Chains A and B, each alone.
Chain A
């Protein structure tokens, strides 16, 4: 038995074998998977190597896991596996003089900025789940966040990674030719287990201004975004939420959001020159007003933080509307935004399902969430609608995943988005690093008929 072998090699403290324990490691934030055969809580890279080698010898699949806040089923085992949860690998070393940090994968994202703050530094990638999710999970999903419009995503802040491949070999990969680190970033635990990363830190902007604008209709909000950017503003963050989101968040926080509006935008401008920051905010304000929006500028940092807290709470607040959801994560060209948002709204109406939309609209990143009650609404209808939404993105020249990954959730849609030749290359890369298909099987890459 693999569980016993892991126990005797690593010690009981690091291996969970009880049914109750294993049960709680079955899921991520979207999917509930198979009951793990054992859960390993490694404390260093050597523990990971031992685990991988034992699993390889026993021919048992391995699923990496951070905080399981993933939204595409990535950390939920698709079949009986050993789950390797990195939550105890939380060592974080700061090198302020080099503006760098070395993080083990279990470090919670928000901690990096908190620890860097006394040195006048920040770690910009800021997924809404930053207080929960881990650096390892962020790397595996190449997580983005509101900041990514101006500052980029997780991958842009990684200088080097350490990973363990399917044979148990440890690699250190920087960003030179070949960009092996880049290959692992966004690979959703299917190519290797990330055991450490050298992260780039940045200086925070001296000034930040925040505004919220609400609109009668979603399309107007999307048009305001295009107009603001065309007018020369480079907002630091540019977020969008529709009526359903506003209602759900207000139910949680009760901070006076415009719940009757069709949609709202949340915009930050920032920089080291106060005048430019204010000017840019004014450009954004003018664009919103020109599209019929009502604008409210946050008077101080506390008011701005309230608005951002609201933004970060959208996704989980949706549980207030329906207990279940299928969550999309499409990216479309900004020019097509207004049309895409309206089309999706229409599709939801036709299907008779609640669709809530929000996202980092500045990048054209949208999260249409289909909300449903599995007791009352058919999951086939939900799946069909999700597929239709994916096709809207592809039709408008977009892609299937901006930041949440493909996981098991969108694996079937990959063939719509990736041509056969490219798919073949992806599979050949996978087989090179994981010849026996043991790393997070049945995720990301669809089975291709031989």
Chain B
């Protein structure tokens, strides 16, 4: 798209955004891939429309406040990126746009406070755990709380699961085949400690030495995507320093964190650590990719076939282009019958803090996803992201379904232990 974005004034961020706008030929191929367009049917709530609006704001033709409602409704799911034949890096455009415009935003005080609270609590398992307990206590009083506080409560489990203390090293069982460093994740540790426990067991079982560096922190994705670039940068620096370079891969089991780490080259563009960030990001792998490449140790066949549906988390399928590997490791379980979810490419509506900022749309997407999942008649839904997990489970329960929702690695872990049924 033709533009007059003042690239020189905006620096590296300007270049990133101008390049993305340039590449868009407004063909509309992305429209059917966009969840908000599917719900609202309006151009402003489509990828093409948002690119247009961001361009107009950057050119000074449109006040930021006019464009903001439509940019805010974007889930950042990157379904449009997969669909775009012209190669528009929409995710980079959106992230950079949010980061460069956040300080110019006017927000109501309570909203600001909730955002700030979340940005402090999410990256810190300790604070998040404390918050989750608080939430557990507050849940019964939900209806009398202000709206801005109700939505975050919906995200929290009725009971906070018992804590799992992360070791700093897990040795390979049998012949050592590889050595990796592991990112522990933040909120996930509190909400679903078994994701990590299961992942570590499966890695060890497959002859992998796992180092869990102590100095590591949050990947910074939540901060970067809500426009807090400074905070994201300092988190990134912590991780660049903490992770060893003498490992075969940096492994993650949370799709959002994985893409967060892979975005370091974008985050550090123009910074001193740019080179280091590029090399670090090239070593980051989702655990499903790592295991698919390594080749799984065999498992005993299941006593009777189990039907498992796989849900593509946006941050795996669209942001990291990882679709085949999780399916291939699930199919490696003899007797596991893998089925696809209709409208599989459409976001479930979880998308980081979207549930809190756009509860109405998030709810409609969550219900649509849950209905599609139910139509598969599977016994288990597997996925590789804590956000999707919570969202889909919530909506399945609302529809009265007892279907089990698990991390892909939990399914494998059960299979190795002969307990999958």
Contact pick for B87, options A23, A108, A133, A320, CB 8 Å: A320
Interface residues on B, range: 20 to 34
Beyond A316-B86, A319-B86, A320-B87, whether A20 also contacts B67 by CB under 8 A is yes
**Could you mark each residue 1-27 of chain A with 1 if its beta carbon is under 8 Å from any beta carbon of chain B, else 0?**
000000000000000101111011101
Within 8 Å of chain A (Cβ to Cβ): is B62?
A: yes
Q: By the criterion CB–CB under 8 Å, are A132 and B28 in contact?
A: yes
Q: By the criterion CB–CB under 8 Å, are B53 and A24 in contact?
A: yes
- Report the bound CA distance from A323 to B24 in whole Å: 7
Q: Can you name the residue of chain A whose Cβ is closest to the Cβ of B49?
A: A24
Complex contacts, B23 vs chain A, CB 8 Å: 319-320, 323
**Could you mark each residue 88-131 of chain A with 1 if its beta carbon is under 8 Å from any beta carbon of chain B, else 0?**
10100000000000000000100000000000000000000101
**Could you mark each residue 68-86 of chain B with 1 if its beta carbon is under 8 Å from any beta carbon of chain A, else 0?**
0010000000000000111
Beyond A20-B66, A25-B43, A323-B23, whether A251 also contacts B87 by CB under 8 A is yes
Within 8 Å of chain B (Cβ to Cβ): is A261?
A: no
- Report the bound CA distance from A9 to B236 in whole Å: 55
Contact pick for A23, options B24, B32, B62, B88, CB 8 Å: B62
Within 8 Å of chain A (Cβ to Cβ): is B294?
A: no
**B303 CB to closest chain A CB, in angstroms?**
33
Q: Can you name the residue of chain B whose Cβ is closest to the Cβ of A32?
A: B2
Q: Can you name the residue of chain A whose Cβ is closest to the Cβ of B21?
A: A323
Complex contacts, B62 vs chain A, CB 8 Å: 19-20, 23
Contact pick for A87, options B1, B41, B86, CB 8 Å: B41
Complex contacts, A25 vs chain B, CB 8 Å: 43
Complex contacts, A325 vs chain B, CB 8 Å: 25
A interface residues, how many (CB within 8 angstroms): 39
Within 8 Å of chain B (Cβ to Cβ): is A190?
A: no
Within 8 Å of chain B (Cβ to Cβ): is A440?
A: no
**Could you mark each residue 319-332 of chain A with 1 if its beta carbon is under 8 Å from any beta carbon of chain B, else 0?**
11001110000000
**Could you mark each residue 119-159 of chain B with 1 if its beta carbon is under 8 Å from any beta carbon of chain A, else 0?**
00000000000000000000000000000000000000000
Within 8 Å of chain A (Cβ to Cβ): is B228?
A: no
Complex contacts, B397 vs chain A, CB 8 Å: none
Within 8 Å of chain B (Cβ to Cβ): is A160?
A: no
Beyond A85-B43, A129-B28, A316-B29, whether A20 also contacts B53 by CB under 8 A is yes
Within 8 Å of chain A (Cβ to Cβ): is B56?
A: yes
Beyond A29-B25, A88-B41, whether A23 also contacts B85 by CB under 8 A is no
Complex contacts, A323 vs chain B, CB 8 Å: 1-2, 22-23, 25
Residues of B1-41 at the interface with A, using a CB-CB cut-off of 8 Å, are 1-2, 22-29, 31-32, 41
Complex contacts, A320 vs chain B, CB 8 Å: 23, 86-87
Q: By the criterion CB–CB under 8 Å, are B53 and A23 in contact?
A: yes
Within 8 Å of chain A (Cβ to Cβ): is B42?
A: yes
**B359 CB to closest chain A CB, in angstroms?**
21
Beyond A19-B66, A319-B87, whether A108 also contacts B32 by CB under 8 A is yes
Complex contacts, B70 vs chain A, CB 8 Å: 20
Q: By the criterion CB–CB under 8 Å, are B52 and A252 in contact?
A: no
**Could you mark each residue 288-307 of chain B with 1 if its beta carbon is under 8 Å from any beta carbon of chain A, else 0?**
00000000000000000000
Contact pick for A132, options B24, B31, B53, CB 8 Å: B31
Q: By the criterion CB–CB under 8 Å, are A29 and B26 in contact?
A: yes
- Report the bound CA distance from A52 to B62 in whole Å: 29
**Could you mark each residue 72-85 of chain A with 1 if its beta carbon is under 8 Å from any beta carbon of chain B, else 0?**
00000000000001
Question: How many residue-residue contacts, CB under 8 A, span A and B?
Answer: 101
Complex contacts, B29 vs chain A, CB 8 Å: 129, 131-132, 313, 316
Within 8 Å of chain A (Cβ to Cβ): is B94?
A: no
**Could you mark each residue 38-77 of chain A with 1 if its beta carbon is under 8 Å from any beta carbon of chain B, else 0?**
0001000000000000000000000000011100000000
Within 8 Å of chain A (Cβ to Cβ): is B347?
A: no
**B38 CB to closest chain A CB, in angstroms?**
11
Complex contacts, A234 vs chain B, CB 8 Å: none
Contact pick for B25, options A67, A133, A319, CB 8 Å: A319
Q: Can you name the residue of chain A whose Cβ is closest to the Cβ of B86?
A: A319
Within 8 Å of chain A (Cβ to Cβ): is B118?
A: no
Contact pick for B28, options A41, A69, A319, CB 8 Å: A69
Within 8 Å of chain B (Cβ to Cβ): is A28?
A: yes
Q: By the criterion CB–CB under 8 Å, are B28 and A24 in contact?
A: no
Q: By the criterion CB–CB under 8 Å, are B2 and A374 in contact?
A: yes
Within 8 Å of chain B (Cβ to Cβ): is A315?
A: yes
Contact pick for B42, options A28, A41, A68, CB 8 Å: A41
Within 8 Å of chain B (Cβ to Cβ): is A318?
A: yes
**Could you mark each residue 249-264 of chain A with 1 if its beta carbon is under 8 Å from any beta carbon of chain B, else 0?**
1011000000000000
Complex contacts, A19 vs chain B, CB 8 Å: 62, 66
Complex contacts, A68 vs chain B, CB 8 Å: 26, 28, 43
Within 8 Å of chain A (Cβ to Cβ): is B44?
A: yes
Q: Can you name the residue of chain A whose Cβ is closest to the Cβ of B65?
A: A20
Q: By the criterion CB–CB under 8 Å, are A24 and B2 in contact?
A: no
A residues bordering B, Cβ < 8 Å? 16, 18-21, 23-25, 27-29, 32, 41, 67-69, 85, 87-88, 90, 108, 129, 131-133, 249, 251-252, 313, 315-320, 323-325, 374
B residues bordering A, Cβ < 8 Å? 1-2, 22-29, 31-32, 41-44, 46, 48-49, 52-53, 56, 61-62, 66-67, 70, 84-88
Instruction: List the 5 closest A-B pairs by CB distance, nearest first.
Output: A319-B86, A319-B25, A316-B85, A24-B49, A316-B27
CB-defined A-B contacts under 8 Å, sample of 14: A20-B56, A20-B67, A24-B52, A28-B26, A29-B25, A41-B41, A85-B43, A313-B85, A316-B27, A317-B86, A318-B86, A320-B86, A323-B25, A325-B25
Q: 15 other contacts beyond A24-B48, A87-B42, A129-B29, with CB at 8 A cut-off?
A: A20-B62, A21-B44, A23-B56, A23-B62, A28-B26, A69-B27, A85-B43, A90-B41, A129-B27, A132-B28, A252-B85, A313-B29, A316-B29, A316-B84, A320-B87
